[in-house]
Structure 1
Amino acid sequence: MTGSRRLCDVAVGAAVVVRSVAPGEAGQGRRLEDLGVIAGTIVRVERRAPMGDPTIYEVRNARLAMRKADAALVQVEAWLEVPTAEAGGGGHVAL
């Protein structure tokens, strides 16, 4: 994945970093920020409902069910994990 895209377009199993959250029509963006979806946060796509909506995301060690319309407000970029030498290859650092 290159560049910025919407969270709702990210494949199940992928991890991304939040770049921005749009305000939305009824303050949905603020609600997402209150739940921890803020710039710099790593989000993992856990699973998607059979009809594609809602989707379960892991955010800051919590799981959030988010409708596609809400996830469309979140702009994300790819997140790259690299093993760290200090952790003997067991730790990771975001680039």
Structure 2
Amino acid sequence: MTLDQLVRDQRAVVVRISGERALRRRLLDMGLVPGEQVTLTAIAPLGDPIELTLKGYRLSLRKAEARLVVVEPA
């Protein structure tokens, strides 16, 4: 399962990040590291972007980026 497949208020734990090295590094730098718990808090009216809560802050990601983050439900 990937982040873009979560429903609102669903929690998940990051398993791994795929994609190009630079994009992977950017997502890791934003706090999306393996083992981190995230919650999908909002979805834009047209479905893109999505808003996550992790480590006490909110993070918005495009669906294309969210598809690169593999998670398992918490």
Partner Cα distance (1:65, 1:9) in 2: 15
Number of residue pairs matched?
74
Distance 1:36 1:27 in 2: 15
Unaligned 5+ segments in structure 1 are: 80-95
Aligned-pair RMSD on alpha carbons? 1.0
Runs (4+) of structure 1 moved beyond 6 Å? Answer: none
When the two structures are superposed, what TM-score results if normalisation uses the length of structure 1? 0.74
Larger Rg: 1
Could you tell me how far 1:26 is from its partner in structure 2? 6.6
Q: Of Structure 1 and Structure 2, which has the larger fraction of its residues in helix?
A: 2
Q: What residue is the counterpart of 2:28 in the other structure? A: 33
Task: Between the two structures, name the one with larger relative contact order (CA 8 Å, sep ≥ 6).
Answer: 2
1:76 equivalent to 2:74? Answer no
In structure 1, distance between residues paired with 2:58 and 2:42: 10
Q: Does 1:19 align with 2:15?
A: yes
